[in-house]
Amino acid sequence: MKKKYLLISVVIFPIILIPIYILLINLLTPEDHFLPPVFSNTLSARGENFKVSIKEENGLPKQEFVSGKAKITATLTNTHLKIDSSALPNFLPVAKADYQLTDNVALEYQVYKDSPEGKIAGPSTKGIKEDIVLKDKESPRSFQFQLDLEGISRWTNKDNNWYFYSDDCQSQQNTPQDTPGVESPDTPGVEKNCPPVFYIPQAYMEDAKGEKSYSVLQEVRPCPTSNIQPPNPSSSFQHPTSNCALLYIAADSEWLDSEDRAWPVKIDPSIIVGGGIVEAETQFGGLQRKLVYANNYWYAFYNDGGQILYKKSQNGSKWTNSSDVDSTDTDNYNPSIWHESQYIYVAWIDNSADAIEVNRIDTSSSDSLGTKCTSADQGTIDTTSFTTSISVADDGTVYIAYSDTSTDTEADVLKLTFSGCTFTSLASATTVYLTTADTSPWTVPSDWTNTNTIRTIGGGGAGDNLSTGGGGGGGGSYSAITNTTALTAGATVGFSIGAGGTDGVNGGNTWFCNTTASCANFTDTNVIVSSAGGTTAT
């Protein structure tokens, strides 16, 4: 019989500790984000305010999390597990470590680095990803990690989330505040002015069909040899004196043993290193809408590594894995969103195309994506400072404004008919008239963009006054071209203005060329728009 596998996943990554727990991108600096092994059985990743490492101790892996002066070392302590074999190669873009254990258990680790521009290093966020793989239904379902604590004064549990605080928090004063920090006398277990240095959110399970359950027991207990100071009756804090705690994780057997359970199953607890809001993904958080409530879910949007991503939550504390709005591109930045009817519209900057892109998510149809619309080239767009704003009318017409928050002068307001992906500029424009008094060639204005219109009108044909049967001449024809890319700002182009006809003479043809010389006639291959003159009377 073919074996089935149960997959338990532990993901470890840097994160911003804000109410929606948006991931902190670009935390790893180009110079030091990926380290070669210190010795043959060590993997490390680090950034400006964190470091994560995997080492071996007594044949089992241990993980080290460092944030400033605070440190947690997590070591698997299920003593009956033994390593049959292990492999810890180091290669780019991903370093991997595999441990095959007895009792049908395996541990797998991957360290992801920043990738070169335009390349994808892997599906995981930057940092270390751990998978505990249960290979069949008889595998163990509970695991225990010893947490060796350095520079950590205490921890607390609030709403099934575990917070760890550094020794530096001891000097803070108790003040009422409903955010993690120094404990508030009005709200025991909640602190102010002292953010946690580490955070363990409520774990969850997910099977192969995407069914989820948060029925995962997750506790932090004192080590048996630890003398924990008894908490104040009004306090929920544990104050370790031996710098040791145990993290206990147990999956709910009733949920796992359900007949409709699809294997493998992932159990996904996390140890998260605290950080500050300093990076590009939240740069425009005060200027753009990035959070919306739709179809009984919160949707949080952000960009990470040139990808436009979102996560979903029903309660604001438990979030799904990220979904990519445009998986075909890795140079998209600074999303802005709008909720209209069952749709969430998302607009962003595409760096390589120097364009505005828009798509929508149908929240009533399993978050299916529509057709992505891409504007014409808007010029040079600086991804670190350009931003978009989006609004959608009741009839579905989309309006997008973009500008540079730095020194670039490029800016525009675009109207988008989403069903046909038709963009129209609404910015004020200058109209230039070329008449028979003008001479060819013509210099294209310096502010010319690909959002433009050229209109031509042929000369009218004259009547015939030499015959009493002669009638009036016909008018010249009209033609136009919109959003042409055939002209470049500063270039000189040829054109011809058709003159009106004289007695018994047709009106002249009008045309506009994409070359520096006048075209031979209005059917020349270099003509981009033309209008024939009117016919004279006969």
pLDDT of residue 49: 41
Q: Where are the alpha helices (DSSP H) in 205-291?
A: 253-256
Of residues 124 and 373, more confidence is placed in 373
Taking 60 as the threshold, does the pLDDT of residue 8 lie above it?
no
Q: Is the pLDDT of residue 301 over 60?
A: yes
Cα 474 to Cα 414: distance, rounded to the nearest angstrom? 38
Res 513: pLDDT? 86
* pLDDT range class, residue 286, cuts 50, 70, 90: very low
Q: What is the mean pLDDT of residues 171-193?
A: 40
Give residue 347's pLDDT: 94
Kindly tell me the sign of the dihedral angle through the C-alpha atoms of 276, 280, 285, 290.
negative
Of the pLDDT bands very low, low, confident and very high (cuts 50, 70, 90), residue 343 is very high
Q: Which residue has the higher pLDDT, 164 or 121?
A: 164
Banded model confidence at residue 78, pLDDT cuts 50, 70, 90: low
Query: Which DSSP state fits 319?
Result: B
Helix (H, G, I), strand (E, B) or coil at 169: helix
Report the pLDDT averaged over residues 114-125: 36
**Quick one: average pLDDT of 187-205?**
62
Q: Which amino acid is at 211?
A: E
Which class in CATH covers the domain with range 280-425? mainly beta
Confidence of residue 271 (pLDDT cuts 50, 70, 90): low
Mean pLDDT on 359-377 = 93
Q: Mapping DSSP to helix (H, G, I), strand (E, B) and coil, where does residue 167 land?
A: helix
**Of 80-84, 320-324, 419-423, which range is least confident?**
80-84
**Rounded mean pLDDT of the chain?**
67
Checking if the pLDDT of 402 tops 80, the result is yes
Q: Which of 129, 160, 143 is nearest to 79 (CA)?
A: 143
For residue 442, name the pLDDT band (cuts at 50, 70, 90): confident
Apex 375 CA angle, 279 and 338, nearest 5 = 60
Q: Is 463's pLDDT higher than 50?
A: yes
pLDDT band at 265; cut points 50, 70, 90: confident
Identify the pLDDT of residue 373: 95
pLDDT confidence of residue 358: 96
- Strands 270-273, 6-14: pairing is parallel
**pLDDT tens by residue, 58-75:** 556 666 777 777 777 777
Handedness of CA 363, 334, 281, 308 (dihedral sign): positive
Share of the chain above pLDDT 70, in %: 55
**pLDDT given at position 3:** 42
DSSP secondary structure letter of residue 255:
H
**Biggest CA-to-CA distance, the chain:** 121
pLDDT score at 270: 65
- What pLDDT, in 10s, does the model give residues 230-262? 344 344 455 554 578 888 888 889 888 888 888
Percent above pLDDT 90 for the chain? 6
What pLDDT was estimated at residue 207?
78
pLDDT digits (tens, 9 = 90+) for 44-53: 444 444 455 5
Per-residue pLDDT, 99: 60
Residues of the chain with CATH 2.115.10.20: 280-425
pLDDT at 367: 94
